[in-house]
């Protein structure tokens, strides 16, 4: 299976990416820049337990900086230092969406912001502070 990440070494499965079913509206893992994507978690977080809509939204939101990466995966690391979730209402359903944008500063830091939605409408926003470093 191809990794789906531009420049990612070898044909490898990437657990986080492969744990969700993705439906791209704008962007992709291999297209740098802002992205809008729907996702559905394919596996339970805890074996034998049903994942809640909130759990689904949190899993999706954690991928925001990955879907909207602005630097080449094979040249840079960008590590999420935190994840802030700000909800306006409880999420519903299986499919969650995010409209994400990552901005990188010139001193090794960045931020990703995302609007989170479910099948009904907007649910809230997420933020991620990023540590950015060139790969060795």
| Series of mean pLDDT values for 10-residue runs along the chain (136 residues) | 39 65 89 93 86 94 91 87 96 96 92 96 97 90
- Give CA angle at 127 (52, 42), nearest 5°: 30
Tokens for 11? 């044909």
pLDDT of residue 117: 97
How confident is the model at residue 18, as a pLDDT? 77
User: The pTM is what?
Assistant: 0.84
pLDDT of res. 109: 92
Protein fold of 15-134: Thiol Ester Dehydrase; Chain A (3.10.129)
Q: CA dihedral in degrees (56, 91, 94, 117; nearest 10)?
A: -90
What does the buried/exposed string (b/e) look like for 125-134 if buried means 16 or more CB atoms within 10 Å of the residue's CB? bbbbebebee
Buried/exposed code over 55-82 (b: 16+ C-beta within 10 A; e: otherwise)? bbbbbbbbbbbbbbbbeebeeeebeeee
What ranges do the domains of the chain cover? 15-134
Torsion, Cα of 50, 128, 20, 67 (10° steps): 160
- Closest-CA residue to 7 (of 72, 78, 58, 79): 72
pLDDT of residue 14: 56
| pLDDT at residue 112, as a whole number | 96
Quote the pLDDT of residue 2: 34
């Amino acid at each position: 299976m191809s990794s789906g990440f531009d420049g990612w070494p070898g044909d490898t499965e990437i657990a986080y990416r492969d744990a969700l079913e993705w439906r791209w509206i704008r962007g992709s893992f291999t297209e740098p820049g802002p992205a809008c994507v729907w996702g559905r978690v394919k596996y339970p977080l805890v074996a034998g337990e049903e994942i809640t809509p909130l759990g689904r939204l949190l899993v999706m939101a954690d991928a925001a900086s990955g879907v909207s990466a602005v630097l080449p995966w094979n040249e840079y690391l960008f590590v999420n230092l935190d994840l802030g979730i700000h909800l306006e209402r409880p999420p519903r359903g299986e499919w969650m969406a995010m409209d994400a944008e990552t901005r990188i500063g010139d001193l090794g830091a960045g931020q990703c912001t995302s609007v989170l939605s479910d099948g009904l409408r907007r649910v809230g926003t997420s933020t991620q502070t990023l540590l950015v470093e060139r790969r060795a």
